[in-house]
Amino acid sequence: MQKITIRKIKKKKNKTPIVCLTAYTRNTAKVLDKYCDIILVGDSLGMVLYGMKTTREVKIETMILHAKAVKKATKRSLVVFDMPYKTYRNKFLAYKNAKKVIKLTKCDAVKLEGGTQIAKIIKYLVKKGVPVLGHIGLLPQTSSNFKVKGKSFHQRKKILKDAFAISNSGAFGIIIECVVESLAKKITKSISIPTIGIGASKFCDGQILVTEDMVGLSGFSPKFVKQYANLNKSLENSVKNYAKDVKMKRFPFTKNVYK
Ligand code: KIV
């Protein structure tokens, strides 16, 4: 089994599409590890697992616990730790937190949300030996709304500038979230590092989705998510049948009983 490295991810640009998904637990990570180049321990776990209103409430300690479990269950994929809100407000804080995260979780890289305003922070982390994945377009930690980005001239110009700034900062790749197709295509063509899209068209160098959305567990199904399963329904059917069996004294069956 060949471990995916940052070098291999970078080499995939314009060649092989990069497969990425999120994982917060060991069981999910074990499955993803067989098929994904990158597993992201996303701060989306705040909303998806903990029912928080925004990702801004997520604490670094919570992320560390989940990342440890994911990394331990992963042999092949590159595991990226999503730095929570306010943990990278300046370069010194960012480095202090990233160093702690990598030491405790053994993750391969960290992800930071933002454009030109965080380029210097990324540059510093990279100089200090911390691999960074960027994230531009819709930024869940700071965006005032969850609308598609890049429709206006002003937004396009800003996001394109962000893409160049992050690419030049030494990041090994950039997630582009919820931007119009033409802009994602232009960014992917213009920068030298791989782009990974979420709601950003097939023209990116790779794709990422929140696994719980993709398998129908979170109940969140925006236009850009293809649902490959309906695990909510399967779970409900299983629980319904179990409850029926227990009430009718059909479970445990003979084979479930110790003699
Ligand atoms: O937190 C997360 O899961 C993410 C992905 C949506 C890219 O940032």
pLDDT digits (tens, 9 = 90+) for 192-236: 999 999 999 999 999 999 999 999 999 999 999 999 999 999 999
Pocket of ligand 1 (CB under 6 A): 22, 40, 42-44, 82, 175, 198, 208, 210
Point out the residues that are catalytic. 177
Distance (angstroms) between ligand 1 centre and the Cα of 192 equals 22
Separation of CA 35 and ligand 1 centre (Å):
18
Q: What is the pLDDT of residues 76-124, one digit of tens each?
A: 999 999 999 999 999 999 999 999 999 999 999 999 999 999 999 999 9
User: Nearest 10 degrees: CA dihedral of 200, 202, 208, 211?
Assistant: 100
CA gap 146, 160 in Å, rounded? 19
- Whether 150 and 137 have beta carbons less than 8 Å apart is answered as yes
The answer to whether residues 56 and 141 touch, using CB atoms and an 8 Å cutoff, is yes
Per-residue DSSP letter, 6: H
Tell me, in angstroms, the distance from the centre of ligand 1 to residue 209's CA: 7
Enumerate the H helices of 49-180 as residue ranges.
60-72, 91-105, 119-127, 153-168
pLDDT at residue 105 in the model: 98
The whole-number pLDDT of residue 192 equals 97
Structure tokens at 5: 């490295």
Ligand 1: which residue has its CA nearest to atom 8?
Answer: 42
Q: Closest by alpha carbon to 171, among 198, 197, 188, 193?
A: 193
Summary mean pLDDT of the chain: 98
Ligand 1 atom with the shortest distance to the CA of 196: 7
Length of the chain: 259
Predicted confidence band of residue 1 (pLDDT cuts 50, 70, 90)? confident
pLDDT at site 228: 98
Residue nearest ligand 1's atom 4 by CA: 42
Q: Give the mutation target among 32, 38, 40 for probing the ligand 1 site: most ligand atoms within 8 A of CB.
A: 40
Index of the ligand 1 atom closest to the CA of residue 198: 7
* Residue 24 alpha carbon to ligand 1 centre in Å: 11
Quote the radius of gyration of the chain (alpha carbons, Å).
20
Mean per-residue pLDDT for 42-50?
98
Above 90 in pLDDT, residue 178? yes
Q: Which two tokens mark 201?
A: 């068209």
